[in-house]
Amino acid sequence: MKIKLPSLMRIPVPSDFGFLSTVYSHGWCLLPPFHAEKEQPWLDTVIDLPSEIHVPVSISPAKTQLIVHTTTDRSFSEEEIKHIRMVIRSMFRLDESFQDFYSLAQKFPAFRWIRRYGAGRLLRSQTVFEDIVKMICTTNCSWSLTQSMVNNLVHKLGIQISESIFAFPSPAVLAGCTEKFLREEIRCGYRAPYILAFAQTVTYGSLDPEKWRETDLSTEELYDQLHTIPGVGPYAAANVLKLLGRYEHLGIDSWCRTTFAELRANGRKVNDVRIEKYYSQFGKWRGLFMWFDLTRNWHQKKFPF
């Protein structure tokens, strides 16, 4: 039986969930298919159904719920509606428990703000594949170049939904590209062979990164597997791990070093050993503590987007 997707789909959220704090938890909300307007309480994106239908949605918060609007007037099966709901819950990390994280944060006065602001959740893409491709695009370049690469990927290879809305390209589409195209049209530079090889391994090989969101592998085993992907080094592997719900690695980059130095060392240059040592007091949550420590100003003053 086919039923119409309601223009208002409502998804309950946990009491410790903060919509804006999650949307602006890091830069992903500015990379398409995500689209967020400066501090406006909604997030646009495109949900890809298994039937290869792409559904544009706009998500906004209510008191204890997310409200999902869609502009499409097509009908959806119950399974498709279930899929849309599951994807949105996964993007906003609604099914992850942050109780232990908040309990630990409460013990440190400097970190009590995190729960107060409903922060703690890191926005993630629809698929692990998309998160990894985007993470490779953040390596060794400025944020503006990352935006340029992802914009090109989506607008030149993704399915067009409307005039301005595109879906993220599938592994198969990326696997069918040439290295030359990725270099010259997407402007990926030397990352082109890495992205191509990853997409081809996912499409034609045995690698299924989506399994990593539900796996019995230890964090170190998972880290090692991520590290085997060409183009994914310590920084990228650690930050993909955070999007998989594992926070034991810090994923320190140059911005983290500079910000830590300003925040906790009076501007003096610090090495990674000192940063690791400082956050080791937060145990398995240390990666998340580091991130929200360094981005505290975003939440308390003004999001930098």
Partner DNA sequence: GCGTCCAGGTCTACC
Partner DNA sequence: GGTAGACCTGGACGC
Q: Which of 17, 98, 111, 235 binds DNA (CB under 7 A)?
A: 235
156: number of CA atoms within 13 Å, CB side?
16
Distance CA 248, CA 276 (A): 10
* 144 makes contact with DNA (CB under 7 A): yes
Single out the residue of 6, 12, 189, 283 in contact with DNA (rule: CB under 7 A).
Answer: 189
Smallest gap from Cβ 271 to DNA, in A, equals: 11
Sign of CA dihedral 11, 14, 20, 26: negative
Within 247-286, the residues that bind DNA by CB under 7 A are 253-255, 258
> What is the nearest approach in angstroms of DNA to the Cβ of residue 146?
10
Q: How many CB atoms lie within 10 A of CB 173?
A: 16
- Contacting DNA (CB under 7 A), which of 89, 187, 213, 264? 187
CB-CB neighbours of 142 under 10 Å: 9
Closer of 206 and 254 to DNA (Cβ): 254
Residue 194 is a binding residue for DNA (CB under 7 A): yes
Nearer to DNA, 148 or 225 (CB): 148
Strands (E), the chain: 2-4, 9-12, 43-48, 54-61, 65-70, 75-77
Smallest distance, Å, CB 183 to DNA? 5
Residue 65: strand pairing partners: 12
Shortest Cβ 88–DNA spacing (Å): 29
Q: Identify which of residues 30 and 141 has a Cβ nearer to DNA in the complex.
A: 141
Residue with tokens 């428990």: 97
Of 52-60, 206-214, 229-237, 275-283: span binding DNA (CB under 7 A): 229-237
Tell the residue number behind the tokens 């409502």, with chain if given.
Answer: 10
DSSP labels for 18-79? -HHHHHTSSGGGGSTT-B--TT-S-EEEEEEPTTS-EEEEEEEE-SSEEEEEE----EEEHH
Give min distance, CB of 109 to DNA, in A: 30
Q: Which is nearer to DNA, 175 or 238 (CB)?
A: 238
The residue (of 13 and 226) whose beta carbon lies closer to DNA is 226
In the set 29, 88, 232, 275, which binds DNA (CB under 7 A)? 232
**Binding site residues, DNA, CB under 7 A:** 139-142, 144-145, 148, 183-184, 187, 189-190, 194, 227, 229-237, 253-255, 258
